[in-house]
Structure 1
Amino acid sequence: MSRARLRDRLRYPVWNDAERRPRAPLRLALAFVLVAVALVVGGLAARALGLPAPFGTVFPMLAVVAATLLAARYVDRRRLADLGLRREPGWLADLAAGLALGVLLQALIAAVGLAAGWFRVADTFVGTAAGAGSVLLVFLAVGFYEELVARGLLLVNVAEGLRFAGGRVAVGAALVVSSAVFGLLHASNPGASLASTLGIALAGAFLGVGFVLTGRLSFPVGVHVSWNAAQGLLLGFPVSGLGVDAAVVDLEPTGPTLATGGSFGPEAGLLGAGAVAVGTVATVAWVRVREGDGGVDPRVAVPDLRRRPE
């Protein structure tokens, strides 16, 4: 075997000659190393600078956003549109619809739980306006950076790496993988359990459906932000195990943990799972109404490379 052929065989598993960039597994590995380093360095920098809350919390998230964008440009060799950052007709309507849907789903959880006697109103107008503003800023950062990483980076790269299996199969598998990782990333939160991890994974699938049907992050970002904000700031529920010090109405779970999610919040219970199911159906219906088609956006698995293949 000639040296050139041996070199090509050794290079094939890690390098895509047609696209002139690393293959998907290596791209993801390099990207997540950058993200992990950014998270650690961002946290250390926030402490060193003595940034007060909520900026000390938000700063590492912004560092992760920067690392993700750098990985997209220099490792993935892709345009930002591939991450779902598409400023095109419909993106603003998707954002508004997502924001509305997150609030409506949390209202549904509260209404059903109160009607069943599983929640009680423990207090009203808890905390201060300044505290609520700080929490809202964190929720805005969380909603954007988690969607950018979980959907824009992870789901897209997995879908591209599995294109050989066909577009629908690739996107479906990527949706499963990204949702499972999303659940596992919340498995160390306070009060986490197998039920909460499965519930967060289901929520990740719900958010992923909004992304793969539109090809844009605006809808899932809207849902993610308003789901967390309504859950914590409006209703006083724990948000993925994390307590919130400000709320309009503080609802305390009194019913079975299987239904309410207990100290982790609704995502760990049947109420949260039911809301996710309703939200998924509503997402498909929204896309059908907006675009006349509920199919997967083909752009999710097809990269728009900065250096196009020759």
Structure 2
Amino acid sequence: MADSNWLTSFPEMDRSDLRSIRKTLDGAYRDFSREYGDLIESFFDPLLSFLVWFEKLLISTPWWLVLAICTGLVYVASRSWKLAVGCLVSLLLIGYFGMWEDTMRTLSIITVCTMLSICLGIPIGIAMARSNRVQSVVTPLLDVMQTMPAFVYLIPVVMLLGIGKIPGLIAVVIYAIPPVIRLTNLGIRLVDKEVLEAATAFGASTRQRLLGVQLPLAMPTIMAGINQTIMMALSMVVIASMIGVKGLGQPVLKSITNQYFTLGLLNGFAIVALAILFDRASQAYAKRTQAHLGDIKHD
């Protein structure tokens, strides 16, 4: 009987000890946020100013001009009239149903988050590709970032920076940056060793091999990572709205709390439309890049 109790009962920490540990950690983080919160917040002021300026720019720009620019960018990336017409029709429907300003707000934060993820993620991916030690350190961090529920790391960010655009942006970047890091690392590591040896034989330096050989050949894989980063950033729109990020996520959140079916459905379709446009355009660009590199190799 004693053996049975030993098998079924798991040794747990004493509740008073666990409570004291929690109080100690909570108090330490609270003191840290009070001491350094303003300093950290001031560090992000330039990014906040740029985000606010970009959002106001998209909202204040005439709708027909934004429509023309977005359609043109989609066509340049994809070289597909069908996708360009799909972009035109989708944005017209978004405006017709009264979701234009929220869409512009969402587009602004997704664009800034994607740019930030690319600027941070590609150098980290390059460092991982050039050093197994860096890869062994960064990979577990990426695993945690991808598997940790988004609501969990919202807690320290909100405690440190409060409610607003910057906490939402940080949360989105944390959630969305792993794919571009992983696929940049993978793409560079998959570059043929013989090509690198040939570049070295022609006298190319380490920097020239990276910029002239490795990154161009790895570009299709890197573009796949950027595509996944955009998709993951869009999937965080609703969660980011819970901490004050305006956009398409807030009407969805409002429809959940107040049971407004149509409001949530329309804004959900707007998010899906943006996701499809980003996805198809970036995939088409990656395929064209790969085909161009294939033609160069063949020549």
Question: Shared topology, TM-score over 0.5?
Answer: no
Q: TM-score, normalised by structure 1?
A: 0.31
Q: Which has the higher contact order (CA 8 A, sep 6+)?
A: 1
Q: TM-score, normalised by structure 2?
A: 0.32
Richer in helix (by share): 2
Bigger Rg over Cα: 2
